[in-house]
Amino acid sequence: MIKVIVADDHKIVREGLKQLISLAPDLTVVGEATNGQEVMERVKQLAADVLLLDISMPDCNGVELIPKVKALPTPPSILMLSMHNEAQIAARALKNGASGYTTKDSDPALLVAAIRKVAAGGRYIEPDLADRLVFEVGLSGDRPAHASLSERELQVFERLVKGAHLNDIAEQLVISAKTVSTHKVRLMQKLGVTSNAELVRYALQNQLFK
């Protein structure tokens, strides 16, 4: 039996996923979580094979949780679940250690197949996204500006877009405000913007951090 933890901050989504998984004879939900802290608690407490992880958690970005989960002694395989079929976000998740990436509007049968595949040690990318990963992320000439940002710059970028101040970001990332300011300068240079308003506009245009 494949044991699954469902992590999503929306109850209706969790209930739908639990119902879908219950229809598969070889899958069972052993726990659920609504935020990053609960994700870590459940993964430590429960012997799960797969963590079905929403990319947008209320207290953190799901992508940032991946290395924390993978650092545990016996981590489950991680299948990211997102509203977005954004290739750059999928690439970040996979780079951080996720075994798969799928979207909430994917076919239910494909989601079940994805859970089985990552539980067996394989990798899964939603078919519609696979080609885009190759062509948008793999070909440097066509890469968007934000593809050149480091993981830390992306973390600062996301928090700036959501209205956090430098000191708040420094506290959240456990770095100095001066370091945050340096990252901000560098990411703005890479994106070719000169203000927070332009940062927000760039994020909206590229459907980032929703």
Q: What are phi and psi of 100, to 5 degrees?
A: -165, 165
Whole-structure pTM value: 0.70
pLDDT score of 55: 86
Asked if the domains at 2-137 and 144-205 fall in one CATH topology, the answer is no
Phi and psi of 14, rounded to 5°?
Answer: -60, -45
In the CATH hierarchy, which fold is given to the domain comprising 2-137? Rossmann fold (3.40.50)
Q: Where are the domains of the chain?
A: 2-137, 144-205
Q: One digit per residue, pLDDT tens: the chain, 210 residues?
A: 999 999 999 999 999 999 999 999 999 999 999 999 999 999 999 999 999 999 888 777 788 899 999 999 999 999 999 877 677 788 888 888 999 999 888 889 999 999 999 999 999 988 777 767 766 655 444 567 887 788 888 889 989 998 999 999 999 888 999 999 998 988 988 888 888 888 999 988 887 876
User: What pLDDT shows up at residue 13?
Assistant: 92
For the chain, how far is it from start to end, CA to CA, in angstroms? 34
Report the top-level CATH class of 144-205.
Answer: mainly alpha
